[in-house]
Amino acid sequence: MQVDVTGFKLERASSVSGNFVATDNNMGLLSDPNRRRALISLLTRLNAPICVVCYMAGVAWFMGLAFEPFTLRTYMSENAMGSTMVEERFPAGEKALATGREFAAHKKKAGGMPVDWLVKTMQSRGLEVFTQRFSRTLPFPDENKERYMVKGTNVYGILRAPRASRTEALVLSAPCTPGDNNNQAVGLLLGLAQYFRSQVFWAKDIIFLVNEHDLIGMQAWLESYHHTNTTGMDWSPLQGRGGSIQAALSLELSSDVITSLDLVLEGLNGQLPNLDLANLFYAFCQKIGVLCTTQGKLQRNDWDSVSGYSHAVQTMMLMVMKQASGRSWGDHGLFLRYHIEAATIKGINSFRQYKTDITTIGRLMEGMYRKLNNLLERLHQSYFFYLMPSLSHFVSIAPPPRTEDGVVDPEQMSSPGVLSVLTPLVISHLTGVALYTLPIRFQEMAVEHFPVSETEAVVLTAIAAPVGGGTEQGWKVLKLVAVLYLAVLLGCTALINFSLGFILAITLVPVAAFVTPHVPKFLSAFVMIVLSPACTLLFSVFFFQELQEMPISFLDGWMLYLSVISQGILDHCLYGSLVYPLIALLVYPCWLIFWNILFWKFVFTGGNVNDSLTHWRDWKRRGCGFGQSAVTPPVLGGGAVSWGERGGEEGALQVLLEQLAGDAGLPGGDQVEVRRVPVLLHPVGGQRPGLGAQALTDHPALHPRVETVLQKHLKNQGVGSKHLNPQHSFLPSQSGRVLRGGLSIACFNRPGELQAELL
Amino acid sequence: MEAADWFIPRVTRNAEVNHRRKRKMAVHSCSYSALLLIICSVSVFIFADSQDTTLSGGHHAAAVEDNPQAATEAAAKTSEQPAVEERSWEATEVEEATLHEAAADKRDTPAPETEAPSPIPQPKDDFQEELVIRPLHSGDIYASFQFRTLWETDFMSGNKVSHYRLFPKSLGQVISKFSVRELHISFTQGYWRTMQWGQPFQPAPPGAELWVWFQDSVTDVDGTWKELTNVLSGIFCASLNFIDSTNTVQPSASFKPLGIGNVTDHRFLRYATLPLEIVCTENLTPWKKLLPCGSKAGLTVLLKSEKLFHSSFHSQAVHIRPVCQDWQCKTTSWELRQTLNVVFDLHTSGQGKREWSLFKMFSRTLTEACPLASSSKIYIDITDDPQGELFELSPATPLLSQAMVLGDRRTFSVYDLTQPVTFGTVRSLNLLIRWKSSEGDMLRPLLHAERYVAGYGLQTGEIHTLMYNNHPYRSFPVLLLDTVPWYLRLYIHTLTVTSKGKDNKPSYIHYQPSKDRLRPHLLEMLIQLPPNSVTEVTVEFERALLKWTEYTPDPNHGFYVGNQLSCTEHCRHGYKHNDGSSTFQQLERPMITFSISPSFPCKEESSFFVRVYTEPLLVNLPTPDFSMPYNVICLTCTVVAVGYGSLYNLLTRSFQIEEPSPGLAKRLANIIRKMRGVPPL
């Protein structure tokens, strides 16, 4: 059936194309210069609307992803976990709670990790127990967690699987947090260890890990396990290992009963575990009857109602924000770097009526571990890039949608421009480097001075702008570079961390689209600052709080903003999160370049393009074919002067005008936006009332400096103004737009002579 | 020189056989027999010497511990001869006599008189079985079965051996067909937990391990090896046929023949491991069938797979080697040892109770010995508890025995199954071992090793091997054997060996680089482990991108890198051998003391040879996504390429009307015009 359809379609297609070819009269659509020009001019004319439409469509599409009919239901892809049935029989919830209380007592007594007690308890449960000490001095004091010099001990016990050769392992971890938190998690971990120990079906070693100082301890343990040292932490080497870790779960429980379990997936640098892990959790929650949430949001069934949809959008946007932050939202997040699928399961005790006891959670964990134990391969079947509007639905992120596509102007670089844009590029990157290094260098005044990007931006651009000044061509080249830079940057970011790419694109693409030196300065500057990375972060903080239904006042928000920045830097130093260097070293310089374009100062440097013009025109006269000339067309303002009969003239005139204005040293504000105004060839005899030849020099609006230069040029050409062909008159612009200093000129009827219209 | 005379006809016969088979050996045969002659004379000469070092109180079967070389010396490859001095003997003439009598008695009973008259002397064979049980500190229990068949015959002679009694025919045929000198094969499921269990009696790596010494008459060793692995694969129902050149190595120093004959030319040695091999009942059944009593009587009734595979560790092995029948080595016999080691877990099999019985372990009790066995004994290792403080045994036994096992003097309680008294009034023996206390700490074994892959990502990595020497003041020389598959490209320049933070220069390195898809990396190093230290060997590697057909069906599982093997001579000082004054019955020594695993007899008994295996590694290689998305990507890329290509073509191609080519005259005219600078026609 399908084959038939395709065959039919193919036939149709071929016949259509045959017709097309026949009617097309052997000319490609783009090879015909007229059509090509038409297409290009259409694109250039419609550039702004196209950009806006693309942008809007991108955002709308993204928001549409949360709409349930557009999403896929989650399903288990992994065979080994899907079809096999496991029984959950964990009985010892009460005992686990008692162990948890005992742990709490010992924790209080020891004032930290009760190492000896844990070692003894784990040993009595038949595990091979090892400890690991670690220490780390933070680059600056962490005010949120009130720590600076961190010293701690991890305790882990390995359940050796019978008749297995230590090649694979699973990890169950629970953080030992100060205060009364997480005691139940450790209790349950020990209870599960005891129960698992008496089972025979384990094919993978199971590592029960209690880590101190949450992520720092976990980082130390993982680095030691894999013997890497990416962040300069001190740790003692591990004595026991279980082979390559296949999956890990981190457990956080702080109450004896819970109302729901929350699944946290977002890891370091926005990495996510394989979707099958989420599916597994969801499947067992369904099976055992535990309420489960993601981002703390239950899923709703009324997807067709507005509130249902907005709920899904909220959930998804929360995930986007969390992922974009690039930090690890649970202990699991650090596993992902080592290609270990991991998630954090958080017990939440709210005011709901329906409570779940710890035995049930134990059964859930048992079921998940038994299924993970059945794995033959690493989890790889399902998606790694996804967003979840609810726990049962997901959006697969295939090639990420691009919103900035319409922005790239059909311009081309001119060779003199490349060097001139180097300076602003280098300066903005140096600024980025400064932003990256300074906070850590001057740590004593660190936290206060972090949000300097705005002021810094303004100040530094003031330095950068004069240096980066240049010709009209210059800013276009620079903008082209910046736009390409941004496109590459966003493309790469979106591949690694889609959410971050999305948020950056939302804010930076408008900047990229509208910035030219000719837009109103102060309004644009304001808009640019609002859309700067730093402000984006500030808005994100408020937005995130809003999504979590915990709105905060501006002052609190500001404090939170500062702490978020310091957390970001800490995440980078401690765990190797890449968001901070990305923003500081790449995004911020990119934004600075646009800022630079906005404050572009025109400095005209004279050059002689006349020779090449003459040469080019000469060749054209001799009838060389389209597109095959060895002589490169003169390049103007980033666009090649087209070869068309009219276009060529036009382009040549533009170049001449540019040249004239440049020689005259006209300031930027007086420069003419040439490309927007069609330059016309003037018909012989002048059908319209024109200006006399003398009028060129007499024109009141002609800038005296341009006039001088023109005269000089005419003299150089060997034709005085008297020799101007009287048949040719100077016409006003047909566009009717007369800008400041507008003037029409026309001249020269000889080969190599040009007519120009200065508006 | 008697022995030498006796050898000559055999050797020539042997040569004839080969001659007939291969028609290539004619030239070699005489030099070959001469060589053997020299070797034999040397050994006879040395036998006389070694009587001084003979230990009293050996087993009644004569066995030769033949390890000609210290690992160190072997590595240096300089001195082959002096090492031969270090043979030790465990034989007494009195015992010899009884053995012969016993064997003769036994043979009378089945006595099929159909034996064709042959020039070979009446084959004498003997079968012994034993079970050694060691209660472990962790509360687990370790049971080690040993079945030993000795047969005084000559597979290499011209006469085809066709009458088999106790020796399994399938193995006999393998020996004669492939000219095997020694064969050692083990199948293991699980990894020996040295930290919890101490040293095993017979170390074995997870998966399958096979090493074979061929007779030096074999010309095409690789071909024979290939055939042999395939045949063994059939015999043991295992996937030994996956052994090919990519996982076979010829270690230069790590292996020595364990039987008589000190050919140490490693061209005749092949070694391979299959870490992925999973051992289960289908391997156990053929293994049991090799036993004379099958699983019908004697200790073998305990070998029920439903219990054996409900354990923490399971290892079964077959070792074949030629040994001397008596101390003069007038006659050689073939020794077949079948061993089975199993560890039962306290928590899963034992329900957490520190109480073990034969029934609890094997769900069977013993009622009789194997009628074909000349000896059938159970030994309980009570070294840790000579006074019966830690655990109690019931029924109690008055028989005690002491022996050196792996450098330790160990004490055993002995139950002789050939004595009806052992079974008591209920006619069944159910040994009960009950622990009185329940503490179990981690051991600090003198020597252990671990290995892991460091780093992350799929491009490079680093193999770390840690070797712990926990001895307070002794350093050990360790010979490291590392075989790494070709798809991990070792950067051998990154090889570092550090002990206590200092560079530890190996005194001997043998490295054979890999060839893609042909052979693995082979690295042998002799390293001195300083006392009380951790020695770390690291080497970086790059993960190769395989061809897509080379991936296994489960590529995301990862690829196994075989375990590493380190062998060491392991001597303990401060121990005095008091043979005369001992109150124990010297006769009762378990067979494990006659190392099956490569034992290394020093002059002192306190010295021994140990092999330590590390765990195998599981390494992920860069793997394409073979699943549906991969296909989708391929498909969409194709569609996009085709669609984009044609569209692009349509948009940009320029067509030109080609002028009909001008005639010759016109072209000439054009050339002239061109030269004149006039536009062409």
Residue in the block written with tokens 């890999």: B514
Checking if the pLDDT of A264 tops 90, the result is: yes
Checking if the pLDDT of A617 tops 70, the result is: no
Residue B625 has phi, psi (to 5 degrees) of -80, 105
pLDDT > 70: percent of chain A: 67
Average pLDDT over residues B262-269: 80
Average pLDDT over residues B615-637: 82
Lowest mean pLDDT among A73-87, A151-165, A284-298: A73-87
DSSP designation for A584: I
Position A487: which residue type? A
CB contact under 8 A, B190 and A164: yes
Instruction: Find which of A31, A167, A195 to mutate to test the B interface (most B CBs within 10 Å of its CB).
Output: A167
CA angle, corner B114, sides to B110 and B120, nearest 5?
95
Taking CA–CA distances from A80, the nearest residue in chain B reads B554
A17-41 pLDDT tens trace:
333 333 344 455 566 677 778 888 8
Checking if the pLDDT of A664 tops 70, the result is: no
Min Cα–Cα distance to chain A from B568, Å:
22
Partner A contacted by B311 (CB < 8 A): yes
Higher pLDDT, A140 or A257: A257
Taking CA–CA distances from A336, the nearest residue in chain B reads B456
Question: Would you state the pLDDT for residue A700?
Answer: 42
**Cis amide bond preceding A751, omega within 30:** no
Higher pLDDT, A663 or A550: A550
- Whether the CA torsion B404, B408, B411, B414 is positive or negative: it is negative
Which residues of B are less than 8 Å from A165 in CB distance? 190-191, 206-207, 275, 615-616
Checking if the pLDDT of A479 tops 80, the result is: yes
| Structure token digits, residue A70 | 């557009």
CA gyration radius for chain B? 32
Which of A294-303, B232-241, B573-582 has the largest mean confidence?
B232-241
Distance between CA atoms of residues B641 and A382, nearest Å: 26
Residues of A with a Cβ under 8 Å from any B Cβ are 20, 26-31, 123, 126, 128-129, 160, 162-168, 197-200, 226-228, 240-241, 243-244, 337-339, 376-378, 380-381, 626-627
Taking CA–CA distances from A200, the nearest residue in chain B reads B348
Burial of A209 (0-12, 13-18, 19+ CB in 10 A): buried
Min Cα–Cα distance to chain A from B202, Å:
16
Average pLDDT over residues B660-668: 81
CB contact under 8 A, B455 and A378: no
Checking if the pLDDT of A587 tops 60, the result is: yes
- SS3 assignment for A669-688: HHCCCHHHCCCCCCCCCCCC
Nearest alpha-carbon partner for A729 in A706, A750, A745, A749? A745
Using CB atoms, which residue from A126, A129, A377 is nearest to B556? Answer: A377
A395-435 pLDDT tens trace:
888 644 444 444 444 444 444 456 667 777 888 888 888 88
E-assigned strands of B159-200?
A: 180-189
Q: Facing residues of A394 across strands?
A: A72
Question: Hey, which residues 539-558 in chain B have their CB within 8 Å of chain A?
Answer: 554-558
Question: Would you state the pLDDT for residue A14?
Answer: 37
Checking if the pLDDT of A635 tops 60, the result is: no
Higher pLDDT, A120 or A657: A120
Distance between CA atoms of residues B499 and B467, nearest Å: 9
A669: how many CB neighbours lie within 10 A of its CB?
10
Question: Would you state the pLDDT for residue A277?
Answer: 92
Partner A contacted by B511 (CB < 8 A): no
Contact B526, B506 (CB under 8 A): yes
Residue in the block written with tokens 């079968």: B127
Question: Would you state the pLDDT for residue B637?
Answer: 87
- Whether the CA torsion B446, B449, B455, B456 is positive or negative: it is negative
- Whether the CA torsion A24, A25, A28, A32 is positive or negative: it is negative
Question: Would you state the pLDDT for residue A230?
Answer: 82
Checking if the pLDDT of A439 tops 80, the result is: no
| Structure token digits, residue A359 | 């035995």
- Whether the CA torsion A466, A467, A468, A472 is positive or negative: it is positive
Contact B431, B393 (CB under 8 A): yes
Q: Facing residues of B391 across strands?
A: B435
CB contact under 8 A, A28 and B651: yes
Question: Hey, which residues 435-494 in chain B have their CB within 8 Å of chain A?
Answer: 440-442, 450, 452-458, 462, 464
A348-389 pLDDT tens trace:
988 888 888 999 999 999 999 999 998 888 888 888 889 998
CA angle, corner A545, sides to A542 and A547, nearest 5?
110
Min Cα–Cα distance to chain A from B351, Å:
7
Burial of B304 (0-12, 13-18, 19+ CB in 10 A): middle
Min Cα–Cα distance to chain A from B606, Å:
29
Q: Is B402 helix (H, G, I), strand (E, B) or coil?
A: strand
Contact B47, B64 (CB under 8 A): no
Checking if the pLDDT of A170 tops 90, the result is: yes
CB contact under 8 A, B453 and A377: no
Distance between CA atoms of residues A592 and A164, nearest Å: 57
Question: Hey, which residues 152-211 in chain B have their CB within 8 Å of chain A?
Answer: 189-191, 193, 195-196, 206-207
Which residues of A are less than 8 Å from B208 in CB distance? none
Distance between CA atoms of residues B366 and B428, nearest Å: 5
Strands B125-135, B141-151: parallel, antiparallel or unpaired by DSSP? antiparallel
Min Cα–Cα distance to chain B from A577, Å:
16
DSSP designation for B406: T
pLDDT band at residue B583 under the 50/70/90 scheme:
very low
B506-532 pLDDT tens trace:
988 999 999 999 999 999 998 988 999
CA gyration radius for chain A? 34
Average pLDDT over residues B524-547: 91
Using CB atoms, which residue from A20, A27, A626 is nearest to B655? Answer: A27
Q: Facing residues of A159 across strands?
A: A206
**Topology of the domain covering A79-396:** Aminopeptidase (3.40.630)
DSSP designation for B258: S
Taking CA–CA distances from B457, the nearest residue in chain A reads A338
Higher pLDDT, A446 or B563: B563
B200-254 pLDDT tens trace:
888 889 999 999 999 888 889 999 999 999 999 999 999 999 999 998 999 888 8
Using CB atoms, which residue from B138, B441, B618 is nearest to A167? Answer: B618
- Complex ipTM, two decimals? 0.74
CB contact under 8 A, B653 and A28: yes
Checking if the pLDDT of B602 tops 50, the result is: no
Contact A370, A105 (CB under 8 A): no
Checking if the pLDDT of A330 tops 80, the result is: yes
Using CB atoms, which residue from B189, B191, B558 is nearest to A244? Answer: B558
Distance between CA atoms of residues B395 and B517, nearest Å: 58
| Average pLDDT along chain A | 73
Question: Would you state the pLDDT for residue A634?
Answer: 41
Distance between CA atoms of residues A583 and A627, nearest Å: 43
Checking if the pLDDT of A312 tops 60, the result is: yes
Provide DSSP, A491-514: HHHHHH-HHHHHHHHHHHHHHHHH
CB contact under 8 A, A198 and B352: yes
E-assigned strands of A291-441?
A: 291-294, 341-348, 386-390, 393-396
E-assigned strands of B234-382?
A: 248-249, 269-274, 313-324, 332-344, 355-357, 375-381
Which residues of A are less than 8 Å from B441 in CB distance? 123
B433-462 pLDDT tens trace:
888 776 656 567 788 888 999 998 889 999
Q: Where are the domains of chain B?
A: 125-435, 447-572+599-619
Using CB atoms, which residue from B458, B615, B625 is nearest to A243? Answer: B615
Distance between CA atoms of residues B620 and B363, nearest Å: 41
Instruction: Find which of B196, B563, B637, B650 to mutate to test the A interface (most A CBs within 10 Å of its CB).
Output: B650
Average pLDDT over residues A600-616: 46
| Average pLDDT along chain B | 74
Which residues of A are less than 8 Å from B652 in CB distance? 28-31
Distance between CA atoms of residues A346 and A366, nearest Å: 16
Q: Where are the domains of chain A?
A: 1-44, 79-396, 410-598, 609-758
Question: What is the distance between the terminal CA atoms of chain A, rounded to a whole angstrom?
Answer: 65
Which residues of A are less than 8 Å from B454 in CB distance? 226-228
CB contact under 8 A, A28 and B649: yes
Question: Would you state the pLDDT for residue A219?
Answer: 92
pLDDT band at residue B144 under the 50/70/90 scheme:
very high
A683-732 pLDDT tens trace:
333 333 333 334 344 444 445 555 566 666 566 655 444 444 433 333 33
Question: Would you state the pLDDT for residue A470?
Answer: 56
Average pLDDT over residues B379-407: 75
pTM over 0.80? The answer is no
Taking CA–CA distances from A126, the nearest residue in chain B reads B347
Instruction: Find which of B496, B535, B557 to mutate to test the A interface (most A CBs within 10 Å of its CB).
Output: B557
CB contact under 8 A, A165 and B206: yes
Using CB atoms, which residue from A163, A338, A381 is nearest to B190? Answer: A163
Using CB atoms, which residue from A123, A128, A339 is nearest to B456? Answer: A339
Checking if the pLDDT of B115 tops 70, the result is: no
Contact A671, A661 (CB under 8 A): yes
| Structure token digits, residue A133 | 């000490």
CB contact under 8 A, A162 and B196: no
pLDDT band at residue A445 under the 50/70/90 scheme:
low
Min Cα–Cα distance to chain B from A226, Å:
5
Question: Hey, which residues 325-384 in chain B have their CB within 8 Å of chain A?
Answer: 345-348, 351-352
B69-104 pLDDT tens trace:
333 333 333 333 333 333 333 333 333 333 333 333
Average pLDDT over residues A57-84: 83
Question: What is the distance between the terminal CA atoms of chain B, rounded to a whole angstrom?
Answer: 111
Average pLDDT over residues A181-188: 91
CB contact under 8 A, A168 and B649: no
CATH architecture observed for domain B447-572+599-619:
Sandwich (2.60)
Which residues of B are less than 8 Å from A378 in CB distance? 556-558, 620
